[in-house]
Structures are given as C-alpha cells and as structure tokens.
C-alpha cells in the first residue's frame, strides 16, 4: 500500500501542473481560470491565467477536431462565468458618458481565441460583452474590482444613475501632482492602455490599436521586428531609423500620442464640462 502511495506521489511530482488540472476535469479547470481572472486590483491577464488557458485552449482545439461542437461545452461554461469587466471609481463616469466599462484582459484573451478557433461560440462572447454597456447588479459577479468600488457602483445603478452620484475629479491644489486623488484618477485612466483588444500587453496609443492588430499573424511577421538597442528602439528592417530618437524617450512619445487620442479628447470634453472655468 505504501509503495502505491509513494508511486502516486512520484507521479504527481513528475507530472506538470497543467496535466494535473486536466486530470481533475474541465469543470475544475474552468473554476481555476475564473479565479485567476478575478484579481480585484488588476486588469492584465496574469501569468497563471495564461498558463492554464493555453493548455485548456489546446485541449479544446484537439477535442473539437475529434468530437465536434460537443467538445466545446467546457468553453461555453467558461464564457458564462468568466469575469468580463472591471469596476473602479471612474466606472460611473464611463457609464454616464455612454462609454462601455473596461474589458478585462483575460476575457479579451479568451474572446480572441473564440474568434480565431471557435467562431460558432461568438454569440456567447457578444452576450458577455453586452454587460459592459448595460451592467446590472444581478450580473455583478461578472465584474472585478475592490469591494467598496463594486458596492458604490451597483448602488448607483440601483438608484437610477443619479447625476450627483458621478464623481467629480477636481483638484484644489496649485500643483496637481501633489493631489493624491488626482494621481489616483490618472492611474485609473491608464488602465485603458493595459492591453489591446486581444488581451496582449499594449504599448501603443488606443488610436493605433487597430493598426497593431490588423493581421492575426503579425507576431510571425519578421519583416519589421523591433529590437532593443541601448536606450533606443531600432528596426531590424535595415532602414537604420530609430522609432524613438535619442532626444525623446519612449514615455514622452506615448504621452504625445495619447494626447491626440479619442480618450484624451473625451477626457478634455468632460473636464471642460464639469470643471468651473475662471
């Protein structure tokens, strides 16, 4: 008996974590994915989520090839449970301005895979995304966020979205950089840059996102690979031109581009509308 136990323990040690999750069943894997996507403080897809998802995705693709649509039931289960959006102190402002709530990067990863590998399940993705524009307290489990932010937001929804419940981000200080509330506001707005529409870490302005995502095979295209060289980024295409000059940092470039984006324009319109002018 003890020999068998020791052999089992050895098997557990030698098998990968992903193989063990598969052995426990798809239902448990879905639960693990939902847990990994439910970080109340972050937008990005965690390494743990991506590791489990990639294994799960590979198994779904293989199972679909042999068993057809029936093999996608675990994916349907996941799409019905996975958190789709993130709630923060700026969420009421987004809804009040007819903007969708922030989509979680983990959900974007799964949605991109559905589009590419399981297009027959696109309707479930669309149903989940609809919650970003029409959030309800009954669907609060589909959103992540700090408990206080979730309670405040859905209480505001329950109350009929009163205008006085929309936070006003004003600063009474001569130097806004010393205003912690203002700084928190900027951090929240920065979350819109956390990832692109496929859940990949994003380093480009939102206006350029579509250009960065035109082709599913962009990652395999080596005609124009960016490599880091010293303090600058240079192109491997041989044109000898740096994307960022030595006189301007990457951050400066991103700030300049962001100031020209639709998000910046909407923010400026909001500030001009809500803040008193001198």
Q: What is the pLDDT of residues 38-55, one digit of tens each?
A: 999 888 999 999 999 999
pLDDT band at 222, cuts 50/70/90?
A: very low
Crossing angle (nearest 10°) for helices 262-274 and 250-259: 60
Strand 143-144: give its sheet, edge to edge: 102-103, 85-86, 143-144
**11 falls in which pLDDT band (50, 70, 90)?**
very low
Mean pLDDT for the stretch of residues 251-269: 67
Q: Is the model's pLDDT at 208 over the cut of 50?
A: yes
User: Up-side HSE of residue 207: CA atoms within 13 Å toward CB?
Assistant: 13
- Say which range, 79-88, 166-175, 221-230, has the weakest mean pLDDT: 221-230
8-state DSSP, 46 = P
Question: Who wins on pLDDT, 207 or 131?
Answer: 131
Q: 125-170 pLDDT, tens per residue?
A: 999 999 999 999 999 999 999 999 999 999 999 999 999 988 776 6
Q: How many residues can be counted in the chain?
A: 278
pLDDT above 60 (res 20): no
Asked if residue 226 lies in contact with residue 233, where contact means CB atoms within 8 angstroms, the answer is: yes
* Residues pairing with 186 in the sheet: none
Label each residue of 6-22 as H, E or C.
HHHHHHHHHCCHHHHHH
Considering just the CA atoms, what is the radius of gyration of the chain in Å? 22
* pLDDT for residue 274 is more than 70: no
Residue 244: pLDDT band (50, 70, 90) is very low
Under the banding of pLDDT at 50, 70 and 90, the label for residue 269 is: confident
pLDDT for 15 equals 47
Among 79, 83, 85, CA closest to 118: 79
Pick the residue with more confidence: 6 or 262? 262
Domain boundaries, the chain: 2-202, 203-278
Q: Regarding predicted confidence, which is higher, 190 or 98? A: 98
Q: For 110-125, what is the mean pLDDT?
A: 97
pTM attached to this predicted model: 0.66
What pLDDT is stored for residue 175 in this prediction? 60
When the pLDDT of each residue in the chain is averaged and rounded to a whole number, the result is: 75
């Amino acid at each position: 008996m003890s020999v068998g136990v020791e052999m089992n323990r050895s098997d557990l040690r030698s098998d990968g974590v992903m193989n063990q999750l598969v052995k426990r069943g798809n239902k448990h894997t879905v639960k693990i994915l939902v847990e990994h996507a439910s970080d109340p403080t972050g937008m990005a897809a965690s390494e743990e989520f991506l590791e489990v998802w990639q294994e799960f995705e590979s198994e779904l693709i293989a199972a679909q090839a042999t068993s057809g649509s029936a093999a996608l039931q675990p994916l349907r289960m996941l799409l019905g449970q996975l958190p789709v959006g993130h709630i923060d102190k700026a969420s009421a402002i987004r809804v009040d301005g007819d903007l969708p709530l922030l989509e979680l990067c983990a959900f974007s990863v799964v949605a991109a895979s559905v589009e590419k590998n399981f297009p027959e399940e696109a309707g479930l993705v669309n149903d989940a995304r609809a919650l970003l524009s029409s959030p309800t307290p009954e669907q609060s489990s589909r959103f992540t966020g700090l408990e206080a932010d979730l309670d405040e937001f859905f209480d505001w929804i329950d109350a009929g979205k009163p205008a006085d419940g929309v936070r006003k981000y004003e600063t009474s200080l001569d130097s806004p950089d010393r205003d912690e509330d203002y700084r928190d506001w900027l951090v929240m707005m920065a979350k819109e840059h956390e990832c692109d529409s496929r859940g990949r870490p994003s380093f480009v302005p939102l206006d350029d996102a579509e250009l960065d995502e035109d082709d599913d095979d962009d990652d395999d295209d080596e005609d124009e690979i960016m490599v880091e060289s010293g303090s600058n980024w240079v192109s491997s295409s041989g044109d000898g031109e740096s994307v960022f000059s030595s006189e301007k940092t990457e951050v400066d470039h991103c700030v300049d581009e962001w100031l020209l984006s639709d998000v910046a324009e909407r923010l400026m319109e909001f500030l001009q509308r809500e803040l008193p002018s001198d």
